[in-house]
């Protein structure tokens, strides 16, 4: 288990990370979500021991990581935001190079390199120079490099930046496999809500150097559970119906949409009232859709800004 207490990193007067506490339990997949400049990379640099906190402590199984740096570094693999590969070398040569840096050699090195090339589905291109690779292939090789020494913890800093949706999905599937089939503990940083929703059991939301919310996906969505959005599709739109809907006690707002209304309510069960209001106006209801809150909604609710501001 990795735990951080009161982590702070200051650059002069700027607190890039400001008093953060978090933990990572063995085998779980945790998301760190925040907009550009929130402090995610700074936090990750400290958690992966690449930079020292200005204040605060990081523990591995109850002991400060700075008192056991070598063994800590053997247990973590970091996928940096920028691709760190040698373009002139082939995929296999890159993995061999990084493997040697971890003192792997001989058959053990060859075996590990082959295993990773297969796992990352790079077998067919293993003897090609990295400079000929697509963005998605480079990202997969970057991930393989972080795994060369069989780390227990895998820390990923926005690993899907700059790749197309298909390659992104492929990479996300591979990361999920690493957690579910190989039992890796994962800290996944992103400003893409859908990636974190797909991969992570637990989430920290970060903004301006601080954690502004944390919990399981459901716990975080509970922040908005008092609000529900209903989409009402009707055969005809009438101003009088809109007024009726607005007049309902639990209704916060009604907006006209293409073939109906979007109704935001404090009530969890508004179906009956919506149908009655429509019936009263002789309007046929074709469909009612209830929208669940997304993590994007949660962020907007907490900060008043969208994630990609
Ligand atoms: N070496 C540095 N010197 C001065 N300020 C820095 C330094 N590194 C980061 N910062 C500042 O700290 C804040 C957090 O930056 P950081 O890169 O950690 O954010 P981020 O959440 O990772 O953003 P992104 O999603 O764009 O990578 C920013 O305001 C940034 O300008």
The proportion of the chain whose per-residue pLDDT surpasses 70, expressed as a percent, equals 98
Nearest CA, atom 4, ligand 1 = 11
Which of 11, 82, 305 for a ligand 1 pocket mutation test, highest count of atoms within 8 Å of Cβ?
A: 11
Q: What residue numbers bound the domain in which 277 lies?
A: 228-292
Q: Is residue 35 part of a domain?
A: yes
Q: In the chain, which residue ranges form alpha helices assigned H by DSSP?
A: 40-47, 69-75, 91-101, 106-119, 135-147, 165-180, 193-199, 217-222, 239-247, 271-280, 295-303
Residue that the structure tokens 């907490």 belong to: 302
Q: Is residue 301 part of a domain?
A: no
Token digits of residue 93: 């040569």
How many structural domains comprise the chain? Answer: 2
Whether the model pTM is above 0.95: no
Please tell me whether residues 208 and 258 are part of one structural domain. no
Please tell me whether residues 208 and 232 are part of one structural domain. no
Q: Is residue 297 part of a domain?
A: no
The proportion of the chain whose per-residue pLDDT surpasses 90, expressed as a percent, equals 65
Q: Is residue 309 part of a domain?
A: no
pLDDT tens digit sequence for 51-68:
999 999 999 999 999 999
Report the atom number in ligand 1 closest to the C-alpha of 39: 18
How many CA atoms, within 13 angstroms, populate the side-chain half-sphere of residue 59?
12
List all residues whose CB is within 6 A of at least one atom of ligand 1.
Answer: 11, 14, 16, 34, 36-42, 191
Here the CATH number for the domain that contains residue 130 is 3.40.50.300
pLDDT tens digit sequence for 225-261:
667 789 999 999 999 999 999 999 888 888 898 889 9
Q: Is residue 48 part of a domain?
A: yes
- For residue 166, the model assigns a pLDDT of 86
**Region 102-116: what's the mean pLDDT?**
93
In contact, 29 and 9? CB cutoff 8 Å: no
Report the atom number in ligand 1 closest to the C-alpha of 38: 21
Please tell me whether residues 233 and 218 are part of one structural domain. no
pLDDT tens digit sequence for 177-201:
999 998 999 999 988 888 998 999 9
Other Cβ atoms less than 10 A from the Cβ of 124: the count is 9
What is this model's ipTM? Answer: 0.94
Please tell me whether residues 59 and 207 are part of one structural domain. yes
Please tell me whether residues 154 and 263 are part of one structural domain. no
Here the CATH number for the domain that contains residue 233 is 3.30.70.100
Please tell me whether residues 137 and 202 are part of one structural domain. yes
CA of 106 to the centre of ligand 1 (A): 40
- For residue 309, the model assigns a pLDDT of 58
- For residue 300, the model assigns a pLDDT of 79
CA of 170 to the centre of ligand 1 (A): 28
Report the atom number in ligand 1 closest to the C-alpha of 209: 14
Please tell me whether residues 26 and 58 are part of one structural domain. yes
Residue with the bigger pLDDT between 292 and 45: it is 45
CA dihedral of 141, 147, 149, 151, whole degrees rounded to 10? 170
- For residue 267, the model assigns a pLDDT of 65
Q: Is residue 304 part of a domain?
A: no
CA of 272 to the centre of ligand 1 (A): 50
Chain centroid to Cα 261, Å, comes to 32
Please tell me whether residues 179 and 282 are part of one structural domain. no
Q: Which element (helix H / strand E) includes 232? A: strand 228-234
Mean pLDDT of the chain: 90
- For residue 97, the model assigns a pLDDT of 95
């Amino acid at each position: 288990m990795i735990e951080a207490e009161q982590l702070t990193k200051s650059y002069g007067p700027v607190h890039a990370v400001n008093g953060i506490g978090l933990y990572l339990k063995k085998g779980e997949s945790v998301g760190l979500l925040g907009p550009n400049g929130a402090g995610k990379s700074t936090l990750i640099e400290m958690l992966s021991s690449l930079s020292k906190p200005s204040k605060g402590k990081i523990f591995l199984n109850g002991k400060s990581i700075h008192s056991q740096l070598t063994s800590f570094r053997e247990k973590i693999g970091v996928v940096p935001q920028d691709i760190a590969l040698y373009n002139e070398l082939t995929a296999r040569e890159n993995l061999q190079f990084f493997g040697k840096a971890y003192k792997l050699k001989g058959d053990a090195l060859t075996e590990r390199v082959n295993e990773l090339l297969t796992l990352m589905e790079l077998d067919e291109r293993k003897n090609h120079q990295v400079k000929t690779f697509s963005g998605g292939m480079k990202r997969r090789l970057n991930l393989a490099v972080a795994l060369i020494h069989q780390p227990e913890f895998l820390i990923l800093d926005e690993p899907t930046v700059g790749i197309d949706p298909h390659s992104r999905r492929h990479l996300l599937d591979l990361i999920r496999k690493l957690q579910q089939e190989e039992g890796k503990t994962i800290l996944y940083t992103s400003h893409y809500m859908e990636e974190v929703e797909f991969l992570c059991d637990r989430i920290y939301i970060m903004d301006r150097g601080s954690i502004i919310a944390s919990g399981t996906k459901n716990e975080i969505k509970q922040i908005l559970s008092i609000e529900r959005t209903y989409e009402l599709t009707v055969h005809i739109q009438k101003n009088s119906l809109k007024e009726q809907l607005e007049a309902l006690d639990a209704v916060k707002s009604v907006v006209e949409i293409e073939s109906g209304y979007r109704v935001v309510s404090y009530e969890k069960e508004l179906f009956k009232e919506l149908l009655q209001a429509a019936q009263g106006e002789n309007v046929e209801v074709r469909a009612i859709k209830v929208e669940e809150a997304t993590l994007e909604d949660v962020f907007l609710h907490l900060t008043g800004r969208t994630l990609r501001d």
